[in-house]
C-alpha cells in the first residue's frame, strides 16, 4: 500500500499556512472553532465556528488571537469575518447551564453546536487546544490554535466580541459589578463588588469565589446555584476572610449531554 505524501506546513506561511496545506490535500472547507469566557466567573460561555474563503478573499488584515487585539481592532475584524466568511455561527451558553452541566461539558457542547450550525459543511475542523468529539469530519486540536490557524483566530474574534457585547448589556441590567469593564473575569474591583453585594444570577455558582461569597462553598458544584425567588437581585452575603480565585471546582469530563439553553446568536452563508 502506498503511503500518502506528508502535508508540509511551512512556518513562513504564517497564520494561513495550516489551512492552505489542508486545502492542498483536498480539504477545501476548513472550519475553526474557539470559545470565550471559560475563565470568567460571570456571564455566558460563548463558542464560535467559522469557515474562511480560499485565497486572498479569506485573508483579513490584522487577524490574530482575539486576546492580542485591541477592542477597536476586534470590532473591525469581527465585521470583516461576518462579511467574508463562507459560513459562521456563534452559540451562547448561559451561566446557569454552565453550573448545571459543568464547564468542560458545556464548552464541548457549545463548540459542537457551533460547528453543526455552519451552513457550509466543513471538510476538516481545527479547534483551539483540545479536540471536540462527536463530529463526522476529521479534525485536529491545535495548541494555541488562535495564533496558528486563521479560521480559529476568526472564531475567537467572533466569540470574544459577541461575549463582550453581552457583558456590556449585563452591566446595565446588573449595575455595580463592573461587567462592562472586566467582562466577568476576576479583578480586584470585581472581587470587591462580590464581597459587598453578593453574586447575581449571571454569576457562576460552581466557581469557588462565587460559591464562597454566596455561603454555598460546602455544597457540591452542581448544587451550588441557589433556588432564589428573586434571581434578578444580588445575594446579600459577606465573604469570609481568605483569598478566593475564579476557578471551577470539581470539573471532571462528563458524558456528552444536550445543552438546553444554547442559542445560535449569529449565522450566515456567503
Q: Is residue 245 predicted with pLDDT exceeding 60?
A: no
Residue 214 to residue 226: CA distance in whole angstroms = 9
The pLDDT value recorded for residue 183 is: 97
Of residues 226 and 233, which shows the higher confidence score? 226
The pLDDT value recorded for residue 13 is: 60
At the top level of CATH, the class of 11-174 is alpha beta
Q: Is residue 14 predicted with pLDDT exceeding 70?
A: yes
Show Cβ contacts of residue 79 under 8 Å, excluding neighbours closer than 6 positions. Answer: none
Q: Which residues line the annotated binding site for a divalent metal cation?
A: 34-35, 128
| pLDDT confidence bin for 220, thresholds 50/70/90 | confident
pTM, entire model: 0.81
How far, in Å, are 161, 164, 205, 240 from residue 42 at the CA level?
16, 12, 9, 20
Query: pLDDT tens-digit profile of 61-85?
Result: 999 888 888 999 999 999 999 999 9
Cell of 236: 446579600
Q: Is residue 264 predicted with pLDDT exceeding 70?
A: no
Q: Are 68 and 178 in contact (CB under 8 A)?
A: no
Where does residue 206 rank: exposed (0-12), middle (13-18), buried (19+ CB within 10 A)? buried
Domain definitions of the chain by residue range? 11-174
Query: pLDDT tens-digit profile of 104-126?
Result: 999 999 999 999 999 999 999 99
Amino acid at each position: 500500500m502506498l503511503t500518502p505524501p506528508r502535508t508540509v506546513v511551512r512556518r513562513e506561511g504564517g497564520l494561513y499556512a495550516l489551512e492552505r496545506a489542508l486545502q492542498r490535500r483536498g480539504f477545501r472547507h476548513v472550519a475553526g472553532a474557539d470559545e470565550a469566557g471559560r475563565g470568567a466567573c460571570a456571564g455566558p460561555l460563548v463558542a464560535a465556528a467559522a469557515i474562511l474563503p480560499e485565497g486572498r478573499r479569506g485573508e483579513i488584515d490584522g487577524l490574530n488571537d482575539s486576546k492580542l487585539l485591541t477592542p477597536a481592532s476586534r470590532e473591525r475584524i469581527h465585521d470583516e469575518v461576518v462579511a467574508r466568511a463562507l459560513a459562521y455561527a456563534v452559540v451562547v451558553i448561559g451561566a446557569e447551564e454552565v453550573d448545571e452541566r459543568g464547564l468542560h461539558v458545556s464548552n464541548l457542547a457549545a463548540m459542537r453546536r457551533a460547528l453543526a450550525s455552519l451552513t457550509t459543511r466543513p471538510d476538516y475542523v481545527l479547534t483551539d487546544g483540545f479536540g471536540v468529539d462527536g463530529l463526522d469530519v476529521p479534525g485536529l486540536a491545535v495548541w494555541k490554535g488562535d495564533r496558528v490557524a486563521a479560521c480559529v483566530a476568526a472564531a475567537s474574534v467572533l466569540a470574544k466580541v459577541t461575549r463582550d457585547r453581552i457583558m456590556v448589556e449585563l452591566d446595565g441590567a446588573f449595575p455595580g459589578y463592573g461587567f462592562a469593564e472586566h467582562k466577568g473575569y476576576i479583578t480586584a474591583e470585581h472581587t470587591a463588588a462580590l464581597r459587598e453585594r453578593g453574586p447575581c444570577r449571571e454569576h457562576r455558582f460552581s466557581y469557588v469565589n462565587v460559591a464562597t461569597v454566596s455561603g454555598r462553598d460546602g455544597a457540591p458544584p452542581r448544587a451550588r446555584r441557589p433556588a432564589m425567588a428573586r434571581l434578578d437581585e444580588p445575594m446579600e452575603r459577606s465573604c469570609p476572610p481568605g483569598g478566593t480565585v475564579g476557578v471551577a471546582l470539581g470539573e471532571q469530563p462528563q458524558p456528552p449531554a444536550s445543552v438546553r439553553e444554547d442559542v445560535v446568536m449569529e449565522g450566515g452563508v456567503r
